[in-house]
Amino acid sequence: MWSWIDEPAGTIRARAFAPAMNIPEDEATGSAVTQLTAQLTRDLLVVQGAGSHLHTTWHPPTHATVGGRVLPAEPRTITI
């Protein structure tokens, strides 16, 4: 899931849930944000999880890279 924090600046808030892989929430999903970057065809700052900041760069026509800063998070339970 994702939503714009600041669309002109390219800042997004995202969360990734993968219960089928026994991962209630992934705190920093680089593979997902590179795909989002490719779909939106622009550089992004993605704030994810409890404080991870992922910076992506769009490399047309088909590539994106990711880097950033991530923080470990304590386990938690989420009921949906």
Over residues 38-71, the pLDDT tens digits come to 999 999 999 987 778 999 999 998 889 998 877 6
Please tell me which residue, 24 or 54, carries the higher pLDDT value.
Answer: 54
**Whole-structure pTM value:** 0.76
pLDDT at residue 71 in the model = 67
**Is the Cβ–Cβ distance between 49 and 32 less than 8 Å?**
no
pLDDT at position 37 over 90: yes
Q: Which fold has domain 2-69?
A: Diaminopimelate Epimerase; Chain A, domain 1 (3.10.310)
Please tell me which residue, 48 or 10, carries the higher pLDDT value.
Answer: 10
Domain boundaries, the chain: 2-69
Cβ burial of 69 (10 Å; 0-12, 13-18, 19+) is exposed
Task: Please state whether 41 falls in left (phi above 0), alpha (psi between -120 and 50) or beta.
Answer: left
Q: What six digits make up the tokens of 59?
A: 């490399």
